[in-house]
């Protein structure tokens, strides 16, 4: 697998260094292995000292771990980025149009493009979110779109994340670490900065307040410090200068949301929530939730508080809706998709099901609502017994699975054990939608540290890299 | 207490604060340079009034790195971090009986660490780690003073020195950076460059403080207000001059006398306390800051005169 993959640094039959990577390649050639070993130790110290940790669900040994950070950056040329940026803006705009439609008139169903059941029977559909006129018509304010590359010009969207995508704190912290560890690289290579993400995020959040208050009060709602992404919640709140609240810090009175402060109740206009839909409001959703705020949905429906991202966004990003996104783009925007989907078989279709069961050993099979790299089968790297067991699962609930060809994800040089070796990577850019759409150049590059592995999720032993988009007009980078 | 003790503590405060400010400033300016690839070297040079020196070095093919080295570890530069820590340490050494063991040992171990690092191979010296270490340990030394020193005249002189230096430093950063970013002095000229203005705040470690106070996009007028007038920002000019005034008053109470230094300290504090940012911009920020900085320099001279430090 690995030898067939497109290597972003040493692509092509000749194995020559691609232009955007020239600066990095020079640096690698100049840097001694001892220096690298010392640097890697420093990185781990930095992350631990700053408390940048990730508590993977189900981890029994030690609650907090750091996500391995690889110091060789992943480089994207300006024109490549411009192409991706156009595609991302288009895709997220269409997803937002779809969400507004799905919770509104459902014209896309009447046009016969998406069956109504796909929306209404979806486990992620939130009936109570229907008929709301959200500010700017935006539902997916923060979207993380997972992209993979398989060739010089071939990018695919692997999945859309429009519920509560996480990982952006690593984009910002990885850059801080790189600037600290290898300042000489930044002097030689024109890398576009990412530090204004928090400023853009705050502007986005403020722009979707129902109230026309010039300075709407925005808070970040976290499930608390046991959550695996708690570091990110605290980080973003701090960067934006907004309060980091738990459900118990908020209450609803006369249809308005307030936070408890020593000076008395203070009104809240926008809630950037990192709590799942089910837990947001015990009156409306799960009654046993202690993480939410009673009456929150009432306040939302009354147009007194906006909740970001909107409720019920899961109907747009599960793996079966995914197959419809190109059609959404044509329907809502009248454009051809810039970014392609990975060809996908839906096991609830008889023909597809038959094909998938016969070709399990070649395919990647995923749960429709799965995330975090769990509940999936990577055919080519699985044993016969594993494949047989998985076939049983698919037969039992075909509608719960989709399958895709095993893509040869591109590789980037990565430090492993004794030296540098290619490892598979993906990319999650973060798209902000408020009154306008903004994307900070780059995103989170995740890398599968195990040789040949295609699973990049941090909960499955993946690491991260700093992602560099080169400034316009610079192709060589060095 | 002897005048020579007062003098040593006053200068120990100034030098230690100077090293700390310089470290923070280099770090912020470098970080900015890495992100924007602007005229970084000139930006750093301007902060230290060294544009001419830099031009000379550049003509001789020098680079920013050599300027940084001059500011960090050149012992022939009396304001370099190394020289400042050395001076603070020798002030402290003369007054070992007048400061606590905690203060002395933390300052001495910083000095020892720097000496060890500089004795090693300069080519492989990690400048970032050195700057980080100075920043961190300076905080510990001031912290040790705060929690262990008797609140007497010695403490007051240490505080006056540190806050006078810090206030002047903030005023200088604002003055130079504002002039670089808004040469015509008009804060509303065009859309503020996020990275440039966040760097100005980073020079006094106040990026996140800004967010907490204003909860809005970076705005040059607000940046100036935060750095100059916000009393609750510990590195603002107002806060520093308030602390200078407070410590001067305690000295006046202890000695039962007052002089020109007390008058000037009170006047400077009042000027910052009652100023309004819109009025400052009406008359011109550069003019206001120039006046403040001149008077800080005069105050330092008057303190020397009044307490027989010279």
- The single residue listed with the structure tokens 């980073």 is B202
Q: Is the pLDDT of residue A187 over 90?
A: no
Question: Do residues A426 and A454 make contact, with C-beta atoms less than 8 angstroms apart?
Answer: no
Query: Any long-range contacts for A31-36 (C-beta under 8 Å, 24+ apart)?
Result: A33/A419, A36/A71, A36/A415
Answer whether B34 sits within 8 Å of A187, measured CB to CB: yes
Answer whether B215 sits within 8 Å of A183, measured CB to CB: no
Question: Do residues B70 and B79 make contact, with C-beta atoms less than 8 angstroms apart?
Answer: no
Mean pLDDT, rounded, of chain A: 89
Answer whether A179 sits within 8 Å of B35, measured CB to CB: yes
**Does any CB of chain B come closer than 8 Å to the CB of residue A180?**
yes
Q: Which residue of B has its CA nearest to A238?
A: B208
Question: Do residues B162 and B16 make contact, with C-beta atoms less than 8 angstroms apart?
Answer: yes
For testing the chain B interface, which of A199, A234, A244, A478 should be mutated: the one with the most B CBs within 10 Å?
Answer: A199
- Out of A193, A240, A241, name the one closest to residue B35 (CB): A193
pLDDT band at A227 (very low <50, low <70, confident <90, very high): confident
Mean pLDDT, rounded, of chain B: 90
Answer whether B217 sits within 8 Å of A242, measured CB to CB: no
Q: What is the pTM of this model?
A: 0.84
Residues of B in contact with A179 (CB under 8 A): 31, 34-35
Least confidently predicted of A434-443, B58-67, B221-230:
B58-67
Binding-face residues of A in 120-139 toward B, CB within 8 A: none
Answer whether B211 sits within 8 Å of A179, measured CB to CB: no
| pLDDT for position A318 | 86
Residues of B in contact with A218 (CB under 8 A): 215
Sheet containing A377-378: give its strands across: A345-346, A401-405, A363-367, A377-378
Residues of A in contact with B27 (CB under 8 A): none
| pLDDT for position B193 | 83
Distance of CA A425 to the CA centre of its chain: 14
Answer whether B195 sits within 8 Å of A193, measured CB to CB: yes
Q: Which residue of B has its CA nearest to A201?
A: B217
* Share above pLDDT 90 across residues of chain B, in percent, rounded to a whole number: 65
Pick the more confident residue, A234 or B186. Answer: A234
Backbone angles phi, psi at A441, to 5 degrees: -60, 125
Backbone angles phi, psi at A52, to 5 degrees: -85, 85
3-state secondary structure A78-140: HHHHHHHHHHHHHHHHHHHHHHHHHCCCCHHHHCCCCCHHHHHCCCCCCHHHCCCCCHHHCCC
- Out of A180, A199, A240, name the one closest to residue B194 (CB): A199
- Out of B30, B208, B215, name the one closest to residue A215 (CB): B215
Average pLDDT on A54-61 reads 48
pLDDT band at A428 (very low <50, low <70, confident <90, very high): very high
For testing the chain A interface, which of B29, B30, B34 should be mutated: the one with the most A CBs within 10 Å?
Answer: B34
Answer whether B215 sits within 8 Å of A240, measured CB to CB: yes
Local structure of B180: helix, strand or coil: helix
pLDDT band at A207 (very low <50, low <70, confident <90, very high): very high
Average pLDDT on B243-258 reads 95
Pick the more confident residue, A17 or B44. Answer: A17
Q: Residue B10's closest CA among B164, B151, B167, B146?
A: B164
Answer whether A180 sits within 8 Å of B128, measured CB to CB: yes
**Beta pairing class for A444-448 and A419-428:** antiparallel
| pLDDT for position B299 | 97
CA distance B92 to A475: 54
Q: How far is B190 from chain A (nearest CA, A)?
A: 18
Q: Which residue of B has its CA nearest to A185?
A: B34
Residues of B in contact with A215 (CB under 8 A): 215-216
CA distance A228 to A250: 22
| pLDDT for position A60 | 42
Chain B residues with at least one Cβ partner in A under 8 Å: 30-31, 33-37, 64, 128, 194-195, 198, 208, 210-218
The residues, ordered by sequence, that sit 6+ positions from A199 with a Cβ below 8 Å of its Cβ are: B194, B217, B218
Beta-ladder partners of A160 = A145
Residues of B in contact with A266 (CB under 8 A): none
**Does any CB of chain B come closer than 8 Å to the CB of residue A254?**
no
Q: How far is A302 from chain B (nearest CA, A)?
A: 26
Residues of A in contact with B208 (CB under 8 A): 238-239, 241
Answer whether B215 sits within 8 Å of A179, measured CB to CB: no
CA distance B186 to B285: 9
Q: Which residue of A has its CA nearest to B34?
A: A186
**Does any CB of chain B come closer than 8 Å to the CB of residue A203?**
yes
Answer whether A196 sits within 8 Å of B33, measured CB to CB: no
Answer whether B215 sits within 8 Å of A187, measured CB to CB: no
**Interior angle at CA A195, CA A193 and CA A198, nearest 5:** 145
Q: Is the pLDDT of residue A400 over 70?
A: yes
CA distance A48 to A37: 17
DSSP letter string, B261-292: HHHHHHHHHHHHHH--HHHHHHH-HHHHHHHH
Q: How far is B217 from chain A (nearest CA, A)?
A: 6
| pLDDT for position A62 | 47
Q: Is the pLDDT of residue A158 over 90?
A: yes
pLDDT digits (tens, 9 = 90+) for B72-106: 988 888 889 999 999 999 999 999 889 999 999 99
pLDDT digits (tens, 9 = 90+) for B101-137: 999 999 999 999 999 998 888 777 888 889 999 999 9
| pLDDT for position A109 | 96
Q: Is the pLDDT of residue A402 over 70?
A: yes
pLDDT band at A49 (very low <50, low <70, confident <90, very high): confident
**DSSP annotation of A18:** P
**DSSP annotation of B99:** S
Residues of B in contact with A189 (CB under 8 A): none
Identify the sign of the CA torsion B47, B51, B57, B62.
positive
| pLDDT for position A372 | 62
Q: How far is B75 from chain A (nearest CA, A)?
A: 24
**DSSP annotation of A251:** E
Answer whether A241 sits within 8 Å of B212, measured CB to CB: yes
Q: Is the pLDDT of residue A250 over 50?
A: yes
Q: Which residue of B has its CA nearest to A195?
A: B195
CA distance A402 to A377: 11
Least confidently predicted of A12-16, A440-444, A448-452:
A12-16
**Does any CB of chain B come closer than 8 Å to the CB of residue A241?**
yes
- Out of B195, B215, B216, name the one closest to residue A195 (CB): B195
CA distance B142 to B137: 9
Residues of B in contact with A239 (CB under 8 A): 208, 211
Answer whether A199 sits within 8 Å of B218, measured CB to CB: yes
pLDDT band at B268 (very low <50, low <70, confident <90, very high): very high
CA distance B81 to B73: 6
| pLDDT for position A56 | 47
């Amino acid at each position: 697998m690995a030898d067939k993959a497109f290597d972003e640094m040493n692509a092509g039959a000749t194995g020559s260094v691609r232009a955007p990577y020239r600066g990095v390649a020079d640096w690698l050639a100049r840097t001694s292995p001892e220096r690298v070993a010392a640097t890697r130790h420093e990185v781990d110290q930095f992350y631990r000292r700053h408390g940048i940790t990730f508590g993977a669900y189900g981890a029994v040994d030690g609650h907090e771990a750091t996500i391995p950070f690889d110091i060789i950056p992943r480089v994207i040329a300006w024109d490549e980025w411009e192409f991706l940026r156009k595609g991302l803006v288009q895709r997220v705009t269409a997803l937002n149009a779809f969400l507004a439609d799905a919770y509104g008139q459902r014209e896309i169903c009447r046009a016969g493009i998406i069956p109504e059941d796909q929306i209404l029977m979806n486990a992620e559909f939130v009936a109570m979110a229907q008929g709301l006129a959200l500010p700017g018509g935006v539902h997916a304010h923060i979207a993380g779109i997972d992209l993979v590359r398989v060739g010089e010009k071939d990018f695919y969207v692997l999945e859309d994340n429009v519920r509560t995508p996480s990982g952006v704190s690593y984009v910002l912290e990885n850059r801080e670490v790189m600037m600290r560890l290898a300042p000489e690289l930044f002097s030689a290579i024109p890398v576009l900065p990412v530090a204004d993400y928090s400023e853009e995020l705050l502007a986005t959040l403020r722009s979707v307040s129902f109230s026309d208050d010039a300075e709407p009060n925005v808070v970040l709602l976290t499930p608390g410090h046991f959550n695996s992404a708690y570091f990110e919640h605290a980080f973003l709140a701090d960067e934006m200068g907004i309060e980091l609240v738990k459900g118990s810090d908020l209450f609803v009175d006369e249809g308005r949301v307030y936070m408890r402060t020593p000076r008395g109740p203070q009104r809240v206009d926008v809630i950037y929530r990192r709590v799942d839909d089910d837990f947001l409001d015990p009156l409306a959703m799960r009654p046993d939730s202690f993480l939410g705020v009673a009456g929150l949905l009432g306040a939302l429906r009354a147009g007194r508080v906006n909740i970001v991202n909107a409720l019920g966004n899961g109907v747009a990003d599960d793996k079966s809706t995914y197959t419809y996104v190109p059609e959404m783009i044509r329907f809502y925007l009248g454009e051809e998709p810039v970014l392609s989907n990975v060809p996908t078989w839906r096991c609830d279709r008889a023909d597809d099901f038959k094909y998938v069961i016969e070709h399990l050993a070649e395919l990647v099979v995923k749960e429709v609502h799965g995330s975090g790299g769990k509940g999936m089968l990577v055919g080519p790297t699985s044993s016969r017994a594993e494949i047989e067991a998985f076939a049983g699962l698919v037969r039992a609930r075909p509608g719960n699975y989709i399958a895709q060809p095993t893509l040869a994800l591109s590789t980037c040089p990565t430090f492993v054990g004794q030296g540098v070796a290619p490892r598979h990577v993906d990319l999650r850019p973060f798209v902000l939608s408020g009154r306008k759409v903004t994307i900070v150049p780059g995103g989170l590059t995740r890398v599968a540290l195990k040789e040949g592995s295609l699973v990049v999720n941090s909960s499955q032993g993946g690491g991260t890299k700093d992602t560099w988009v080169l400034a316009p007009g610079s192709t060589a980078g060095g | 207490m002897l005048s020579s003790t007062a003098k040593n503590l006053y200068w120990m405060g100034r030098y230690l604060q100077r090293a700390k400010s310089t470290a923070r400033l280099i770090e912020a300016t470098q970080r900015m340079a890495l992100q924007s690839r602007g005229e970084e070297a000139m930006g750093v040079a301007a902060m230290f009034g060294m544009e001419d020196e830099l031009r000379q070095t550049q003509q001789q093919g020098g680079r920013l790195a050599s300027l940084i080295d001059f500011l960090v570890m050149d012992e022939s530069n009396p304001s370099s971090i190394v020289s400042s820590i050395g001076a603070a340490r020798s002030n402290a050494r003369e007054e070992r009986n007048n400061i606590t063991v905690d203060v002395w040992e933390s300052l001495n171990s910083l000095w020892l660490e720097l000496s060890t690092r500089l004795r090693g191979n300069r080519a492989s010296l990690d400048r970032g780690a050195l700057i980080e270490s100075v920043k961190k340990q300076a905080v510990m030394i001031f912290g040790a003073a705060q929690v262990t020193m008797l609140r007497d005249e010695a403490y007051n002189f240490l505080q006056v020195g540190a806050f006078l230096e810090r206030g002047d430093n903030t005023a200088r950063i604002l003055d130079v950076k504002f002039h670089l970013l808004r040469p015509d002095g008009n804060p509303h000229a065009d859309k503020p460059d996020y990275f440039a203005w966040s760097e100005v705040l980073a020079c006094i470690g106040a990026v996140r403080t800004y967010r907490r106070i204003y909860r809005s996009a970076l705005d040059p007028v607000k940046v100036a207000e935060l750095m100059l007038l916000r009393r609750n920002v510990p590195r603002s000019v107002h806060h520093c001059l308030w602390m200078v005034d407070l410590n001067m008053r305690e000295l006046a109470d202890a000695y039962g006398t007052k002089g020109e230094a007390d008058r000037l300290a009170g006047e400077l504090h009042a000027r910052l306390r009652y100023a309004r940012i819109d009025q400052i911009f009406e008359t011109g920020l550069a003019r206001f800051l120039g006046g403040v900085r001149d008077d800080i320099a005069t105050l330092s001279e008057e303190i020397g005169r009044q307490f027989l430090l010279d």
